Every structure is written in structure tokens, then in C-alpha cells.
Amino acid sequence: MVITGKTHLLGVIGYPVEHSFSPLMHNAAIAHLQQEKGAEKENLPNYAYLPFPIQPERLKDAIAGFTAIALKGFNITIPHKQAIIPLLDDISDVAKAIGAVNTVWRGEKGWHGTNTDAFGFLAPLEALSGSSLTVPKSWTDARALILGNGGAARAVVAACQQLGCRKISGVGRSPDKLAHFAESWAHTPHIAAKLQVMPWDALPTQMPKTDLIVNATPVGMHPKINDSPLSDDEMALLKPGAIAYDLIYTPRPTKFLQQATAAGLLAIDGLEMLVQQGAAALEIWINQPAPVKVMRQTLLNYLKTP
Ligand code: NAP
């Protein structure tokens, strides 16, 4: 990658941020575009993408600093996805619906925010079409069941509404957080009307009716790779052919997806979501198509998956 006096800065903020794969994926994409467009020096995408560990109490200072150094844009990870909103000048409708921002860019009128997680989540589902979609037969028939009610679950709820799912159920372990989660959709009545929340022990009655089950908890993530949010017996309650989607991308596959495959379900992991949410963000910043294949292959190489 070429860094010159004209290089613009991009980055990711989080706390901690060391675990983020975004610098790897975005810098590979930028290096690829530079190589591809090497002959047209004028249009060279001249960017570098850095990790910024920002403590929650320093978030406001960090944004003021980004304004001062004319940072072009940044991604946001835990714990800043909601806290950033009052510090921005404008957020997109999708970010408003989700209640969280994962992508920010500097425009003429200041800092703009959006959320590309729902887009990323949808990409592998939208790729399933025709005969590959057996259970459900169509998204408008589908009942989605989401395990967890944190930040990622919010993007999944919005995405399931966008898919047209008939019913969206959210399962969580804390009654207070579940109630808050349900109330937080009051500003989007079209989503609130489809969403029901329930405690974990409601799972046995919900699972046989479920067409798409999503693990939006960190259970099963490296290093606790033998954990799953569900037992083998619970997983067997799902219809064969239904879709099990784990937002986790390391390990590949997770225990949850191994159980799903054994139960005859269609398994999808979180890698494509990671790639697609990143590609959508990069396109906003550099205003040209992102090299999605390069971004995907960079992560696969890093994770040593063929
Ligand atoms: P989060 O905001 O911390 O939410 C985590 C949720 O999981 C909370 O509802 C939490 O419940 C629940 N949970 C945690 N441990 C649990 C357990 N042992 N049993 C049952 N529920 C449990 O995290 P997040 O940002 O939503 O991320 C969730 C997962 O999605 C992570 O693995 C993350 O890496 C992944 N993710 C992937 C992508 C991607 O691009 N593929 C994007 C975003 C997130 P409590 O509140 O009760 O603790």
C-alpha cells in the first residue's frame, strides 16, 4: 500500500479494538485498488485504515480530534455504536431504525452516520433464491428467531423486517433487557408489530415453528469454541431445511453451526456479513465499487479457510 502526503485516513473505533479484522480487510482492499488503478495516478484511492482504541469517556474528544485532522470516515464497534449518535450531525433512516451506527463519514455538513450491518446480514440470505430456499419457501412466510438482544440483534431485527419475515421473535436471558429491547422499537411501528420477545425457556415451543434462527450472542466465539447457545436436543426441534445463521465468524464452523448441519439445517456463518458490511462502508468513503472478492479472500487467508 502506498502512503504519501496525500493519503486520507480511515479507521475503526472501539474499546478494545485489537480483535477487529477491519484494518486487515480494508487495507487489503485499498492496496488492491491502488495496484489495479496504478496507471491512473489521479484516481488512485489514497487511503489508510487504522485501529483507534477509544475509551468511552474520551469519545467526544476523539470525534473532535477526527474533525481537526480531517479523517475521512470510520467504523464503530463495541461499545460506541449507540453512544456515537448524539455526536453526529445526521444519521440515516436505517441507523435510526436500528438505533446504532457502524459507519461514519465526513460530508460538507459534518459527520454522517449509517448502519451497514443489516445490509451485510442480508447479503447471504438474498443470495439464496429459487430452489435453494426450501424452508421457508418464501421470506414472507418466514418466522425468524433471534438469540440475544444486543447491538447485532438490533440490525438482525431490522434486516428480518426488510426481508419481509412474517414474525420476528427475540429471545434473551435478562427480563429487564428484553423489555427494554421490545420498547425500543416503538418509534418503528412496522417493526414493533412483528416483533415479540420471550425468555429463553420459551424456546422449545418456538423452535418447531422457526424458519430462520440467528445466533446473535457471543456464545461459541473463539476461544470458547465448544460452547453453543443451544443443546443438540434443542437444535433437533428445528425443521430440517430451516436456516441457522451464526453471526460469529471465528471459529468456522461454530459449535452452533455444527449442530445445525447435523440436524439437517442450512448453515450460514458471520464471515460474509463481515465482508459485506465492510464493503458497503468502503464504497461510501471512496465512492467507487469495493473489491469484495479481495476483502473476502483476505479474511479467509487470515483465518486459514480454503
Ligand atoms: P452485545 O451487544 O454484547 O450483545 C450480546 C447479546 O448476547 C446480549 O443480548 C447478551 O445478553 C447475550 N449473551 C451473551 N452471553 C450470553 C449467554 N451466555 N447466554 C445467552 N445470551 C448471552 O454483542 P453484539 O455486538 O450484539 O454481538 C453479538 C455477536 O455477534 C458477537 O459474537 C459478535 O462478534 C457478532 N457480530 C458479528 C458481526 C459480523 O459482521 N459477522 C457483526 C456484529 C456482531 P446479556 O445482555 O444478558 O448479557
Q: What is the per-residue pLDDT for 2?
A: 81
Pairing of strands 110-114, 103-107: antiparallel
| Cell (9 digits) for 78 | 463495541
Distance CA 111, CA 88 (A): 5
Q: What is the per-residue pLDDT for 128?
A: 86
Q: What is the per-residue pLDDT for 40?
A: 59
Catalytic one among 81, 96, 239, 255? 81
Contact by Cβ (8 Å): 55, 294: no
135 CA to centre of ligand 1 in angstroms: 26
Q: Which of 280, 261, 256 is nearest to 118 (CA)?
A: 280
3-class secondary structure per residue, 53-98 = ECCHHHHHHHHHHHHHCCCCEEEECCCCCCCCHHHCCEECHHHHHH
Pairing of strands 73-76, 103-107: antiparallel
- Please confirm, yes or no, whether 137 is among the known catalytic residues: no
Q: pLDDT per position in the chain (306 positions), as tens?
A: 888 899 999 999 999 999 999 999 999 999 999 998 775 566 677 999 999 999 999 999 999 999 999 999 999 999 999 999 999 999 999 999 999 999 999 999 899 999 999 999 999 999 886 666 777 888 999 999 999 999 999 999 999 999 999 999 999 999 999 999 999 999 999 999 999 999 999 999 999 999 999 999 999 998 999 999 999 999 999 999 899 999 999 999 999 999 999 999 999 999 999 999 999 999 999 999 999 999 999 999 999 866
Q: What is the per-residue pLDDT for 36?
A: 86
Q: Which of 213, 221, 209 is nearest to 245 (CA)?
A: 213
Distance CA 222, CA 269 (A): 14
pTM above 0.85, yes or no: yes
Q: Whose CA is nearest to atom 10 of ligand 1?
A: 148
Q: What is the per-residue pLDDT for 43?
A: 66
Q: What is the per-residue pLDDT for 130?
A: 64
Show the ligand 1 pocket: residues with CB < 6 angstroms: 78, 117, 120, 148-153, 172-174, 177, 216-219, 221, 229, 247-249, 270, 273-274, 277
Distance CA 285, CA 288 (A): 8
- Name the residue of 24, 217, 247, 248 to mutate for ligand 1: max ligand atoms within 8 A of Cβ: 217
Q: Which of 156, 189, 190, 186 is nearest to 171 (CA)?
A: 156
